Amino acid sequence: SDEGKMYVGVDYYPEHWPEERVDQDIKLMKEAGFNLVRMAEFAWVKMEPSEGVYDFGWLDKVIDKFQQQGIKVILGTPTAVMPAWLARKYPAAMATNDDGSQIDWGGRKNNCFSDGNYRRLSERIADEMSEHFANHPNVIGWQTDNELSGPICHCQRCLANFQDWLKAKYGTLDSLNAAWGNHFWGLTLHSWQEVTFPDCEGESDWGKIANPSLCLDWKRFHTALQVDFQRDQVKVIRKNCPEDFITHNMMGLHNNVDYYKLAEDLDFVSWDNYPVWNKPEIPYGSSMAADVMRGLKQKNFWIMEQTAGPVGWGEFARNTRPGELRKICYQQLAHGADAQVWFRWRTSTAGREQYWHGLLGHDGKAGRRYEEAAQVAREYDKLSEYLTETTVKSKVAILYDYENIWATQNQPGFAGNDVQKAISRYYNALFRKGINVDFLHPDYDFSGYDLVLAPGLHIVSKELAANIEAFVEAGGVFATEYRAAVKTPTNLVYDLTLPGLLREVLGIQIPEYEAMGDFTYRMEPIEPDFKSYDATMYSDWIIPEAAQTLIGYDEWHMKDYAALTRNQFGKGHAWYLGTIVDDPAFYDQLIARLLDDAEIEPEVELPAGVEASIRQDEQHQVLFLINHTENELSIKVPENKLELISDRKTNSDFQLKPFGVGVILLDD
Q: Which of 305, 379, 603, 611 is catalytic?
A: 305
Question: What CA–CA distance (Å, rounded) separates 306 from 400?
Answer: 24
User: Least distance from C-beta 343 to ligand GAL, angstroms?
Assistant: 6
User: Least distance from C-beta 7 to ligand GAL, angstroms?
Assistant: 18
User: Least distance from C-beta 309 to ligand GAL, angstroms?
Assistant: 11
Candidate list 25, 258, 272, 643; residue touching ligand GAL; CB under 6 A: 272
What Rg value do the Cα atoms of the chain yield, rounded?
26
Beta strands 521-525; 508-515: pairing state: unpaired
Residue among 245 and 316 whose Cβ is closer to ligand GAL? 316
Question: What CA–CA distance (Å, rounded) separates 575 from 591?
Answer: 11
One-character DSSP codes across 493-546:
BPSSSBTGGGHHHHTEEEEEEEE-TT--EEEEESSTTS---EEEEEEEEEEESS
Residue among 42 and 260 whose Cβ is closer to ligand GAL? 42
Which residue, among 47, 50, 40, has the nearest Cα to 16 in the 3D structure? 40
User: Least distance from C-beta 41 to ligand GAL, angstroms?
Assistant: 7
Residue among 109 and 154 whose Cβ is closer to ligand GAL? 109
Q: Considering the rule CB under 6 A, would residue 147 count as an interface residue with ligand GAL?
A: yes
Candidate list 96, 122, 130, 146; residue touching ligand GAL; CB under 6 A: 146
Give the up-direction half-sphere exposure of residue 60: CA atoms within 13 A in the CB hemisphere.
11
Question: What CA–CA distance (Å, rounded) separates 223 from 229?
Answer: 10
Q: Considering the rule CB under 6 A, would residue 123 count as an interface residue with ligand GAL?
A: no
Q: Considering the rule CB under 6 A, would residue 438 count as an interface residue with ligand GAL?
A: no
Q: Considering the rule CB under 6 A, would residue 353 count as an interface residue with ligand GAL?
A: yes
CB atoms within 10 A of CB 116: 12
The residues in 210-229 that bind ligand GAL, with binding defined as CB under 6 A, are: none
Residue among 75 and 562 whose Cβ is closer to ligand GAL? 75
Q: Considering the rule CB under 6 A, would residue 305 count as an interface residue with ligand GAL?
A: yes
Residue count, binding to ligand GAL (CB under 6 A): 7
Give the up-direction half-sphere exposure of residue 406: CA atoms within 13 A in the CB hemisphere.
23
What is the identity of the amino acid at 177?
Answer: N
User: Least distance from C-beta 432 to ligand GAL, angstroms?
Assistant: 29
Residue among 232 and 305 whose Cβ is closer to ligand GAL? 305
Give yes or no for a contact between 478 and 575, defined as CB atoms under 8 angstroms apart: yes
End-to-end CA distance of the chain: 28
Task: Tell me, yes or no, if 403 is annotated catalytic.
Answer: no
Residue among 147 and 338 whose Cβ is closer to ligand GAL? 147
Q: Considering the rule CB under 6 A, would residue 145 count as an interface residue with ligand GAL?
A: no
Task: Tell me, yes or no, if 147 is annotated catalytic.
Answer: yes
Q: Which of 48, 147, 324, 643 is catalytic?
A: 147
Candidate list 302, 342, 356, 587; residue touching ligand GAL; CB under 6 A: 356
Question: What CA–CA distance (Å, rounded) separates 658 from 79?
Answer: 42
DSSP state of 493: B
β-bridge partners, 459? 487
Q: Find the helix or strand (DSSP H, E) in which 435 lies.
A: none
What are the CA-CA distances from residue 172 to residues 164, 180, 187 (Å)?
11, 13, 16
User: Least distance from C-beta 313 to ligand GAL, angstroms?
Assistant: 7
Q: Which residues bind ligand GAL (CB under 6 A)?
A: 146-147, 272, 305, 343, 353, 356
Catalytic residues, by residue number, are: 147, 305
